[in-house]
Chain A
């Protein structure tokens, strides 16, 4: 849609157009440095930074990544990605072990998690099948309505979702003698899942399916005329994005060990959109950058505002204004700003770092 269209990477030199079959990160020193820092992070950061900042940002980043996949490659802005993640979290809590023994079925985690993932993917696919009946801004409205309906439903339903108190003290996995919710193992689990999702999205974007999806985004009529089933591609994109969001949901419920309607509220759904848009929805790295900015702001804005002599509770105002500024001035989020800055400071022959782009 227009946002993705505006954000198309400016014309590249034609010579560099040859499709690279290797991962683009291999030739990019910055990517290696970031990867190395992320891997040795437990040596640098203490428990608070490791979990509250980096693991949380990675989890939010995975959710936003699923939105980025839909919005950037499919042209469908879905506001229900957080709802799918929340649904997974609820399912993990319901099938697995938790403090609410009257609700939880007490399955071991290796049974509960695949079940939750499968159900959430089905849920997201169904929602997607509904949303693809409409286009553009209608998609936003329908997915927002789905998200809000789920929020009110969890608030009202006591039999499965335990009303507004939610489900507490959800058990986390212990096996091979490791407590996987301890800070360092959990960080590595999150990092591994995030890397998996990141590379999966990157791979899919260049696979025939991803290319067809981008074709559907740019010109659905023409793709239909070429014999592609437009709606099937869109629903498949929803299915994949739902699975990614569902993975984030599992990590989220293990992170907080509880799930309540507050975590699937409409505001939280919109936060995921903010993260993706602020980071940039044309490249898979964008959501992670956006998530890091968001988490840092959420954690430190209070102290920062108080230090400036302002009311610390105005954190959401800061987020909203920042989001407005980004939407007003850069249609490709922080990445777009960075890229424009690079281009204005470099000779044209030099390709920008992430400039392989798509579409």
Chain B
């Protein structure tokens, strides 16, 4: 952190000012002039919270994608299909058993199994041929999309939020002050906060696992140089299978989250594939903190954009990607 400030003082200043403005916008009571200029504070806060929680969802999808890419140099364009598959599985389980948590577990296990099959049957056979793997995953995503359309139809599904998570909570953030002087607090859906907290926990756990455990050390070594790692006697194929299974499982979990937040329908697979592509391009391929930062930026940009400039919301996301590519083609937090 201090090194960044030393090396890029101007950028650091801009970042600090931006953070300060953002904090003031979130915590202060807005003066009337500002409310007239850009609308109610409640709208702004809601957009910020929606953006952050959406960023949590994007992080779940993109972290699996980036983990797989980082270790195996394998762009899995069927990642969106795994997301949708996990969502459908979660829907089926949670409606038949009534247990939301069970839906998560089964979705994780089943998508992880699909991931294992993909790695063993497809990717191991064409190791090192990036482009061919990419083509194969494109073919697979078409096949998966059609199979899921066959099995589930073109309807919209929404996973029922469990009873103990329904309803809003009051957050200690003042949106406005009534004429009587009584402050009005922000009310926000409980389930989104819980899910966001869960994705933060998963992210931290991943970071700890990668940086503090033996298997994490193996994975990091594999990211740096997998040939030497294999030469030291690590069973690299087993590590590949495990990482692929975990990354796919994360996509499955994200599918259940997405099914609860939003809805599941054909086409969502492509939407989330695109989202994770943009997130990892912005954050840096193969970097977990990069995926977190990218997911936060893209989630916020999408939500704030859709509130303040509805027609051009998607263009904002795209412009961010262009800007990052122009300034730092390898992504914001990539090492290379």
Contact = CB atoms under 8 A, between A and B. Distances in A.
A152 B275 CA distance: 12
A277 B315 contact: no
A319 interface: yes
B314 to A, nearest CB: 4
Contacts of B129: 2-3, 6
Contact of B135 (A133, A153, A327): A327
Contacts of B225: none
A138 interface: yes
A140 B277 CA distance: 10
B277 A317 contact: no
A321 B131 contact: no
Contact of B136 (A1, A137, A141, A324): A324
A316 B145 contact: yes
Interface stretch (A107-115, A156-164, A176-184): A156-164
A178 B107 CA distance: 61
Contacts, number: 117
Contact of B146 (A3, A144, A266, A317): A317
A134 B329 contact: yes
A146 B318 contact: yes
A137 B329 contact: no
A148 B313 CA distance: 13
A320 B145 CA distance: 10
Contact of B150 (A273, A311, A324, A331): A311
Interface stretch (B111-119, B165-173, B188-196, B320-328): B320-328
A141 B131 contact: no
B285 A138 contact: yes
B94 interface: no
Nearest to A317: B146
Given A156-B311, A273-B138, A149 B147 contact: no
Most B CB contacts (10 A, CB to CB) among A156, A274, A277, A320 go to A320
Interface string A305-346: 000000101101101110110011001000000000000000
Interface in B278-336: 278, 281, 285, 310-315, 317-318, 321-322, 325-326, 329
A270 B142 CA distance: 9
B160 interface: no
A352 interface: no
A267 interface: yes
A212 interface: no
Contacts of B281: 138, 141-142, 145
A267 B314 CA distance: 18
Contacts of B132: 2-3, 6, 327, 331
A148 B311 CA distance: 15
A146 B318 CA distance: 8
A63 interface: no
19 contacts: A2-B128, A2-B131, A2-B132, A77-B134, A134-B325, A134-B329, A137-B130, A141-B75, A141-B277, A141-B281, A142-B321, A142-B325, A146-B318, A153-B312, A156-B313, A313-B150, A320-B140, A320-B143, A327-B139
Given A153-B314, A327-B136, 15 more contacts: A2-B131, A3-B129, A133-B329, A136-B130, A137-B131, A137-B134, A140-B77, A141-B281, A146-B318, A149-B315, A153-B318, A274-B139, A323-B135, A324-B136, A324-B143
Interface of B: 75, 77, 128-132, 134-136, 138-140, 142-143, 145-147, 150, 270, 274, 277-278, 281, 285, 310-315, 317-318, 321-322, 325-326, 329
Interface of A: 1-3, 6, 77, 130, 133-134, 136-138, 140-142, 144-146, 148-149, 152-153, 156-159, 266-267, 270, 273-274, 277, 311, 313-314, 316-317, 319-321, 323-324, 327-328, 331
